[in-house]
Amino acid sequence: MAHQALWSGRFKEPLSAIALNFSSSIDLDKRLYQEDIAGSIAHVEMLAAARILTAVEARRIRTALKAIQKEIETGKFQLTGEYEDVHLAIEQRLIQKVGPLGGKLHTGRSRNDQIALDERLYLRTAGKEIARLIVQLQRVLLYKAEKYFGTLMPGYTHLQRAQPVMVSHHLLAYVSMFERDYERLHDCLRRLNKSPLGAAALAGTSFPIDRQKVAKKLHFDGIIENSIDAVSDRDYLVEFLSVCSIIMMHLSRFAEELVLWTTKEFGFAQISDAYTTGSSIMPQKKNPDMAELVRGKTGRVYGSLLNLLTTLKALPLAYNRDLQEDKPPMFEAVNTTRQSLFIFSHILVHTTFDKKHMEEELQNDFLTATEIADYLVRKGLPFREAHAITGRIVSYCIDHRMYLGNLDLDTLHTFSKLFEPDIFDYMLPHRSVEQKQSTGSTSPQEVKKQIVHWTRVLKKRKG
C-alpha cells in the first residue's frame, strides 16, 4: 500500500508503505491530539481576525475541529498508522468534513511550529500535575513528621551511625528537597510558556498573522521572538526532563532508605502488606518492591534525558526530522515521574516507624561521642584535643566491648580530669538532640519551627 501525502504535488511517486511505517510518529504523537486541536482553533480564530479567512470559514473549521476531537475521544475516528502524524491525521479528517476549506487551516503555519506548540501545551499541563503530586508528597511527609515528633533515630554519614536526630528532622529534609524540585519545575514552566506558533517552517510567514493574539488565546506569556529558535530548539524539553531526573533522584534516595530501614538488619520501619510483595519460593519474605521499583524506574528518566541530549547535540538549525524522536523520552519521563510521585505518597502513608527499636539502637553505639568532645571544649580544651581524647575513649570502649553508657567517672578521669558527674547527662541521646542550638538543627525547637513553616507554606498550595 502506498501513501499519498496531502502536499504530493512535488513528487511523482507516493511514499512507500515501508517508508511510511518507518517514519510515522502517529503511535506516539496521537497523545497530543487535544493540544493540536486547541492550537488549531486558536490559529484559525486569529486567521479570521486578520481577515485571512472569513468569519464564516473560521466558524466552519472551528466547529469541525471540535467535532473531530469528540470523534477521537469516542473512538469514531481512529488515529492509526495510515497517517504520518497527528497533525496530518486531523487535517485530513478536517478536509473530509468541510472539503477544500479544510486546507486553509494550515495557512501561515508549519508542522514545525505546530509540534513545538503541542509539546509546550502538553508539558505545561504535565508540569502542573507533577507539581500537584510533589505538594501531595510533601504533605504526607509533613504529616509523618508531626506524627513522629519527639522520636529519635540514628543519623548517618557514609552509611555509618553518626549522631542522634529526630525522625521528623530526617523526613523534613526531603520536604526541603522536594520544595526545590517544585521551584525548579515552576521556573521551567515559566520559561517554556512562550508560543512558537507563527514561526512557520523557520522563516516566518508572508501572511499578516498576529502571533501575540494566538499566544494570549492559549494562555502563553508571550512568543518566542526568533522564528528559527522557535522551531529548532528543544531546550524547554531538556530542562523539563532535567527537573524530572532530579525529582526521581530524590525519590530514589528515599526509596533506598526505605529498603534499608525495612530490613531485619535495620528494623527501623515497616511497610504495610498492601505495598509489599512476597517471594515465589521463600514464604517468609516481605519485599519492598514498590520502593525498589521507584528506585529502578529512575534509570528510565535519566535515560530519557540522555536520549534527548544525544539527539540534539549535533543538529544544525533549523528543524530536522531527528526532532521527531523527542517524543518517546518526553512521554517516558513525564509518565514515570508522575507515577513514581503518586505511588511514593501511598507507600509513605502505609509506612510505620519503630520508635522503641530506633531509640534502643541509640544506646548501643557511640552516637553521642561528639557531645563528649563538645563538653570538653566547654571546659576550655581546644576542639582538636577534645576530639582526640574522645576518640581514645571510644577506642577503649570497643576494646572492652562496652558502650559510652557503661563508663564510670573514674574511668573517664583516666582520659581527662575535666570530666564531672554531669557528663553522663550529655551522653543521653535526648540530651544530645536538645543541646543543638543552630538554626535548622535537629533540636525539638528548630524542628517545630520547620513544621510550622511547612504547614503554612503547604496550606497555601493547591492540590
- Which residues participate in catalysis according to the annotation? 158, 279
Cα distance between residue 54 and residue 47, in whole Å: 8
Cα distance between residue 44 and residue 54, in whole Å: 10
Cα-atom radius of gyration of the chain, to the nearest Å? Answer: 31
Q: How far is CA 110 from CA 8, 200, 261, in A?
A: 16, 4, 54
Cell digits for 381? 580544651
Q: What residues contact residue 224 under an 8 Å CB cut-off, 6+ apart? A: 194, 195, 196, 199, 230
217, 218, 219, 224 alpha-carbon torsion, rounded to 10°: -100
Cα distance between residue 290 and residue 296, in whole Å: 10
Cell digits for 402? 562496652
Closest by CA to 376, choosing from 396, 355, 392, is 392
Q: Which residues are paired to 160 by β-bridges? A: 157
State the pairing for strand pair 351-353/152-157. Answer: unpaired
